[in-house]
Amino acid sequence: MFRVTRRYRFSASHRLHAPELDDAQNQRLYGKCNHPFGHGHNYVLDVSARGPLDPATGRAADPEALDALVGRHVLAAFDHRNLNVEIPAFASAVPTSENLALEIGRRLKDNWNTAFPGEWPRLDTVRIAETGKNIFEIRADEIE
């Protein structure tokens, strides 16, 4: 099995604020990320596919097909957006990077067969770096 990883970049803003908590609790929990006007990040997204080597092509996954899938269902939706306001999934979930990785993973899983109609490759992991220190990863089999 090979794992093929492609890297993407997008910028988005968000405010971390849980509506079931009061303002003081949100401030303690999220600190500067709870700023009322939000803040932005230049996210780095790694999407990995897993599959066997195809002897005919010498590839485990077509990187152009992966690029098209991510471009259509992730980058077009999230780049230069206010996650709290413009992404319906975050109407009921705090747009933490964990929830962002989960939402990206759901979108990729839901549309995977349009890009890769066969048994292989399969989505393996979604990894998102919010900053140089904050990196979050979820395996495809952990995505509901």
Catalytic residues: 33, 80, 130
Angle between helices 63-70 and 97-115 (to 10 degrees): 130
102 vs 141: CA distance, rounded Å: 11
Give the SS3 label for residue 91. Answer: helix
- Contacts for 116 with CB less than 8 Å, ≥ 6 apart: 49, 61, 62, 65, 122
Q: Which residue matches tokens 């066969």?
A: 118
Q: Which residue matches tokens 């890769």?
A: 116
